[in-house]
Amino acid sequence: MFGCSCCCHSSKTLIILRQLYDLKKQLKFPADIANTKLRPDILLLSRMTKQIVLLELTVPWEERMEEAHERKKAKYQALMDECRQQRWKTWNLPVEVCSRGFAGQSLWRAFSILDITGMARRRAITDICQQAEAASQWLWQKTEQ
């Protein structure tokens, strides 16, 4: 379980105290931790406790969810190994939501690892599934035009 001793989150809610967000440039993996050109979808890290959570979202067809999970896990495995060599505790969490709005077990597991459970997890997963389905429908409509 991703835990932080600096009191920056409760057992139910993860609060990101500092967010690096800039639409004018591509964010990069911190070079002082590992040298890579990979850019995961979400990177949570605590320098105080030397913990990294890497989340990579994929929206595959239902019958390809397991394949997508294994592919994304393998893609980031060398990076996670390099971080561990630098004495970082790591979680490599590829998550899948199928294009028809079905959440893979990996999404439920990721929320549990982040200690987001109960109604908060159910609401978040419902919203994520609805957004994935809406985005897939939008893309499908664009390809037909």
What pLDDT sits at residue 134?
Answer: 86
Domain count of the fold of the chain? 1
- Whether the CB-CB separation of 93 and 106 falls below 8 Å is answered with yes
Beta strands in 66-145 (DSSP E): 89-96
Residue 144 is predicted with a pLDDT of 81
Range of the domain at 69: 42-144
11 domain-assigned? no
State the Cα–Cα distance between residues 63 and 21, nearest whole angstrom.
Answer: 34
**In the chain, which residues have pLDDT < 70?**
1-26
Is residue 19 situated within a structural domain?
Answer: no
69 within domain boundaries = yes
Say what the pLDDT of residue 24 is: 55
